[in-house]
Amino acid sequence: MGREVNLSARMLALTGLLTPGYVTCDVGCDHGFVSIYLVQKQIAPKVFAMDVRSGPLSRAQEHIREYGLEDKIETRLSDGLHELRPGEAQAMICAGMGGKLMMKILEEGMDRVLAMKELILQPQSDLKLFRSFLREKELIIVQEDMIYEDGKFYPMMRVVPGPFYSEDERTASSGEEQELWDEFGPFLLRERHPVLLKYLNFSEDVQSRLYEELKGHTSQSASARIVEVQGSLQRVQAAKEYYA
């Protein structure tokens, strides 16, 4: 099998959320190193390495050959999950793209998603909208992690097809609390994740400085922006109360 793949801290954390033993599709596989790592570490017995771009997929194929894993990693040129059959993979791992694009991939491949046992997801934007989308689709967050790497924050989650709300403790007790969970992550908040606290402190500092810059302006646009900033500050401060 040759040398072992070295992943970044955030990708190691992401692969660490995956339950060992599941046939996995790596959506947006890029150069294929996550797929290779999953097989090398015997986390996944087989991986479908999929990407919408032919260039990165060709490089993934080269790397897979270099590591001698052609029999365990199958590459597919695919827009999202379109080239995966329902039930063909038990798990999905997806990272390195915006939340809205990831929502589109899940929406368009929902028949495949619902046939899976778990999804490991790391959207890079629109986290509040993304978590709300998951709730609406009864895709339930059951575990979260967050990594700070190279000056950026990377929240990630393990998701399973639901529903199992009703009496489950994961159901928020109020609309305000649900809003905080959607924005910052239910498990990150309840487990008082240290990297989330670092993010909250960072966000509070940024929003406070922005408020100081805006409060001397009287234009309509500045007034509207001040209201937005105040709302953001209030939510950050409410989230920090979990750490009290």
Where residue 166 falls among pLDDT bands split at 50, 70, 90? very low
- What DSSP line would sit under 156-211, residue for residue? EEEEEE----TT-TTS-SSHHHHHHHHHH-HHHHHTT-HHHHHHHHHHHHHHHHHH
pLDDT > 90 fraction of the chain, expressed in percent and rounded: 81
pLDDT at 223: 79
- Per residue in 58-96, pLDDT (tens digit) is 999 999 999 999 999 999 999 999 999 999 999 999 998
141 close to 187: Cβ distance less than 8 angstroms: yes
Average pLDDT, rounded, for the chain = 92
Is pLDDT at 195 greater than 50 in this prediction? yes
Is pLDDT at 2 greater than 80 in this prediction? no
Whether residue 56 has a cis bond before it, omega within 30° of 0: no
Look up the CATH number of domain 9-170: 3.40.50.150
Amino acid code (one letter) for 226: I
pTM of this prediction? 0.92
- What DSSP line would sit under 107-124, residue for residue? HHTHHHHTTSSEEEEEES
Distance CA 240, CA 233 (A): 11
